[in-house]
Amino acid sequence: MDKKRKIIILIIILILAIVIGAVFIFSYFQNQEKQNDTSTQTSISSLKPTLSKIYEKMLQGEIYTFSLILDENNKTITARNGDNARIDFYQNGVHTTDIIKEGATYRLIHNDKQYFEYPSNTIELTNLLRKFERTKEDVTPQKGEETIEGKNYYYEEYKGTAEFLTQGKAGVDLTEASTKFYYDDDSLIYIKTTVKEKEELLKVEMSYTTQGTSFEIPSDYVKIEV
Alpha helix (H) residue ranges in the chain: 2-47, 51-61, 127-136
Q: Is residue 85 very low, low, confident or very high in pLDDT (cuts 50, 70, 90)? A: very high
Per the CB < 8 A criterion, the answer to whether 124 and 98 are in contact is: yes
User: What's the whole-number mean pLDDT along residues 26-51?
Assistant: 59
Residue 36's pLDDT is: 52
Q: Is the pLDDT of residue 34 over 90?
A: no
Q: Is the pLDDT of residue 46 over 80?
A: no
User: What's the whole-number mean pLDDT along residues 164-177?
Assistant: 88
Q: Is residue 102 very low, low, confident or very high in pLDDT (cuts 50, 70, 90)? A: very high
Q: Is the pLDDT of residue 42 over 70?
A: no
Residue 22's pLDDT is: 72
Q: Is the pLDDT of residue 6 over 80?
A: no
Residue 192 carries which side chain, given as an amino acid letter?
K
**What one-character-per-residue DSSP string does 97-117 give?**
EEEEETTEEEEEETTTTEEEE
- Write out pLDDT tens, residues 213-222: 999 999 999 9
- Write out pLDDT tens, residues 182-195: 999 889 999 999 99
Per the CB < 8 A criterion, the answer to whether 109 and 115 are in contact is: yes
Residue 166's pLDDT is: 93
Distance CA 87, CA 18 (A): 75
User: What's the whole-number mean pLDDT along residues 70-91?
Assistant: 97
Per the CB < 8 A criterion, the answer to whether 157 and 141 are in contact is: yes
Per the CB < 8 A criterion, the answer to whether 183 and 189 are in contact is: yes
Contacts of 203 (CB under 8 A, 6+ apart): 67, 68, 69, 70, 189, 190
Query: Using DSSP, how many helices (H) and how many strands (E) does the chain show?
Result: 3, 12
Residue 13's pLDDT is: 75
- Write out pLDDT tens, residues 52-68: 999 999 999 999 999 99
Residue 39's pLDDT is: 44
Q: Comparing 19 with 210, which gets the higher pLDDT? A: 210
- Percentage above 70 pLDDT, the chain: 88
